[in-house]
């Protein structure tokens, strides 16, 4: 069976660096990446929590480490990943409930997810410093 003429004449772009993803696809990919990032950081977070509960001296050592500027920046990255994952998760739940399935609403909701996660991170950053 021959392919339809339209399918034969389509250009094929296999260069992944030149493909421009739509915003909903980008938010979906970032949701998966942020979830994986948070999952991989879970053992580190649990270890830090355990160390801080060991004794008052350990708690003071952990608190002095967390006051480092590089660690604060890393904390902001972790918080952005968490806030983005939470906002995108709420968006995905709404999509699963058949809310906002039209392309117009999907684009708007994906931009809202990006905006809210960045604004929450900025708010936390202003509070940390």
* Predicted local distance difference test score (pLDDT) of residue 11: 74
What are 59-111's pLDDT values in tens digits? Answer: 999 999 999 999 999 999 999 999 999 999 999 999 999 999 999 999 999 99
Q: Is residue 57 part of a domain?
A: no
Instruction: Give the residue numbers spanning the domain of 91.
Output: 69-129
pTM to 2 decimal places: 0.82
Q: Is residue 100 part of a domain?
A: yes
Residue 6 has pLDDT above 80, yes or no: no
Residue 29 maps to a domain = no
On whether the CB atoms of residues 120 and 79 are closer than 8 A, the answer is yes
CATH code of the domain containing 102: 1.20.1300.10
State how many domains the chain has: 1
Q: What is the pLDDT of residue 2?
A: 61
What are the tens digits of pLDDT across the range 102-129? 999 999 999 999 999 999 999 999 987 7
Residue 14 lies in a domain: no
Residue 107 lies in a domain: yes
């Amino acid at each position: 069976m021959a392919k339809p003429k339209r399918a034969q004449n389509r250009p094929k772009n296999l260069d992944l660096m030149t493909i421009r993803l739509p915003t909903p696809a980008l938010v979906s990919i970032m949701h998966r990446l942020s979830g994986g990032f948070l999952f991989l950081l879970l053992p580190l977070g649990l270890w830090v929590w355990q160390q801080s509960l060991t004794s008052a001296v350990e708690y003071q050592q952990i608190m002095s480490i967390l006051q480092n500027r590089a660690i604060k920046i890393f904390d902001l990255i972790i918080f952005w990943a968490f806030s983005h994952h939470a906002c995108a998760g709420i968006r995905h739940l709404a999509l699963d409930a058949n809310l906002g399935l039209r392309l117009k609403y999907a684009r708007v909701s994906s931009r809202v997810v990006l905006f809210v996660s960045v604004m929450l991170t900025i708010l936390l950053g202003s509070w940390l410093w």
